[in-house]
């Protein structure tokens, strides 16, 4: 989302796609697209990258018109400035002109053992931050971090608007148990980081004792300053599965955390208890010092996943994701029409949910979107007046509020705008 409320969308496609500016053809079977629309959904510009970014694809807009795109890739990748030097794959980061979509600069990081670039954020000064899970080594500009046998570690790297290195945090517990689970930056340059661990976690062993898992997969949640110095860190969890998926700041510097949990988890306001044995999802809010303000759990005995979190100018939180069964938002019950899980327990026939929570975490509005086929909510962003823009993918026929829409192929993407 740019400051004027124009949405920017990134995704993958095969064959050809027309986003409003004419067909774009995937030359190598599949490709990634980047497109900008105005507040009414009119196409402004779009472009593609010759080879699809593998895994996650992420985009963030900053002050001064900087538009940053990041992701991981397995082969050659060219954002528009020539192929990145990591021909066997790695992590890719590029800056584009948000007004025109023109390439400004691009960089590649890592080696063939690199895992994922999973989060991109921009702070108030226009610096870009990236985070993900790392195996192998990568040099973000401050010297190599990691090794080929360390397994899963978490990195956070900050570069200025011109791509110059500012700092790198490399977090490794020595047991290959870490995974990234959220990244956000506020106007002053402070950074919130989240993820999961199953043994111990310590962002800065020189200034803080380690956080120790209660068993299973627990959540780590931390805040660092503009130069990467630790401000505080916390852990949440139990002996079951708990995972962070998104973090966000509001204008006052309060920080939000969203993710999934099983069993009973206390974020500081008393235990949240999941219904059934499958993961429910949570949204929690903390003040700038890390003190608990509210925490809410949602779900039933079926599977629910929260994928994206955004905060509007008034401090209200909006979340989207995918669910089976039902979700009760303070008496506003959403019912999924889909009923499918695949054999690995992932959602393959769930519906989309979009919900807005007030300053105290209470329900303001919620929407279910879907049919018996597969729909997924993957991203949400908010306009300057609190307008809700949501993206994801779907199969079948779905009514987003403007009449039924049917997929033209196996699966299509969507961009929908809702009133505040």
For 23-40, write each residue's pLDDT tens digit.
998 877 778 899 999 999
Those residues of the chain that have pLDDT short of 50 are 343-347
Predicted local distance difference test score (pLDDT) of residue 52:
53
Helix (H) or strand (E) holding 30: strand 23-37
Predicted local distance difference test score (pLDDT) of residue 345:
46
Predicted local distance difference test score (pLDDT) of residue 344:
44
Q: Burial of 259 by CB count in 10 Å (0-12 exposed, 13-18 middle, 19+ buried)?
A: buried
Which of left, alpha, beta for 286 (phi over 0: left; psi -120 to 50: alpha)?
beta
DSSP-based three-state secondary structure for 307: strand
Cα–Cα distance for residue pair 420/128, rounded to 1 Å: 28
Asked if residue 373 is part of any domain, the answer here is no
Asked if residue 411 is part of any domain, the answer here is no
Asked if residue 99 is part of any domain, the answer here is yes
> What are the residues facing 109 on neighbouring strands?
91
Asked if residue 93 is part of any domain, the answer here is yes
Cα–Cα distance for residue pair 121/119, rounded to 1 Å: 7
Asked if residue 403 is part of any domain, the answer here is no
Rounded to two decimals, the pTM is: 0.94
CA dihedral angle for residue 118, residue 122, residue 123, residue 129, rounded to 10 degrees: 40
Asked if residue 363 is part of any domain, the answer here is no
Cα–Cα distance for residue pair 213/370, rounded to 1 Å: 37
Domain span at 214: 53-236
Number of residues in the chain: 420
List, as own/partner pairs, every contact residues 335-343 make where C-beta atoms lie below 8 angstroms and the sequence separation is at least 24, other chains included: 335/368, 336/302, 336/368, 336/370, 337/370, 337/371, 337/372, 338/370, 338/371, 338/372, 338/373, 338/374, 338/375, 339/372, 340/374, 341/303
Residue 89 and residue 83 in contact, taking contact as beta carbons nearer than 8 Å: no
Predicted local distance difference test score (pLDDT) of residue 38:
97
Asked if residue 353 is part of any domain, the answer here is no
Cα 265 to chain centroid distance, Å, stands at 22
In the chain, how many domains are there?
Answer: 1
Asked if residue 226 is part of any domain, the answer here is yes
DSSP-based three-state secondary structure for 88: coil
């Amino acid at each position: 989302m740019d400051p004027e409320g124009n949405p920017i969308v990134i995704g993958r496609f095969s064959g050809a796609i027309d986003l409003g500016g004419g067909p774009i053809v995937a030359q190598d079977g599949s490709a990634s697209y980047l497109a900008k629309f105005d507040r009414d959904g009119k196409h402004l510009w779009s472009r593609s990258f010759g080879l699809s970014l593998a895994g996650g694809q992420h985009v963030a807009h900053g002050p001064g018109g900087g538009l940053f795109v990041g992701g991981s890739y397995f082969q050659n990748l060219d954002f528009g400035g020539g192929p990145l030097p990591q021909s066997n794959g790695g992590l890719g980061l590029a800056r584009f002109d948000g007004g025109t979509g023109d390439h400004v600069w691009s960089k590649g990081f890592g080696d063939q053992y690199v895992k994922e670039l999973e989060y991109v954020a921009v702070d108030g000064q226009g610096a870009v931050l990236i985070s993900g899970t790392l195996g192998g080594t990568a040099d973000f500009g401050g010297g190599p971090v990691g090794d080929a046998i360390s397994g899963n570690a978490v990195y956070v790297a900050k570069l200025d608007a011109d791509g110059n290195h500012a700092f790198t945090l490399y977090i490794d517990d020595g047991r290959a148990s870490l995974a990234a689970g959220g990244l956000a930056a506020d106007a002053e340059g402070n950074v919130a980081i989240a993820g999961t661990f199953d043994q111990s976690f310590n962002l800065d062993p020189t200034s803080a004792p380690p956080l120790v898992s209660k068993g299973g997969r627990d959540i780590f949640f931390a805040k660092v300053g503009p130069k990467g110095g630790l401000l505080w860190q916390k852990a949440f969890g139990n002996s079951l599965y708990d995972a962070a998926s998104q973090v966000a700041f509001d204008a006052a510097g309060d920080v939000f955390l969203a993710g999934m949990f099983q069993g009973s988890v206390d974020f500081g306001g008393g235990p949240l208890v999941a219904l059934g044995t499958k993961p429910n999802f949570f949204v929690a809010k903390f003040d700038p010092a890390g003190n608990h303000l509210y925490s809410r759990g949602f779900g039933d005995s079926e599977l629910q996943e929260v994928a994206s979190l955004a905060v509007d100018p008034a401090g209200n939180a909006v979340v989207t994701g995918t669910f089976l069964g039902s979700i009760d938002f303070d008496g506003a019950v959403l019912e999924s029409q889909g009923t499918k899980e695949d054999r690995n327990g992932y959602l393959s026939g769930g519906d989309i949910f979009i919900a807005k929570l007030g300053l105290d975490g209470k329900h303001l509005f919620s929407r279910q979107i879907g049919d018996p086929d597969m729909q997924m909510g993957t991203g949400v962003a908010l306009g300057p007046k609190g307008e809700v823009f949501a993206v994801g993918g779907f199969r079948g026929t779905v009514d987003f509020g403007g009449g039924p829409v049917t997929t033209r192929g196996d699966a299509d993407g969507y961009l929908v705008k809702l009133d505040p």
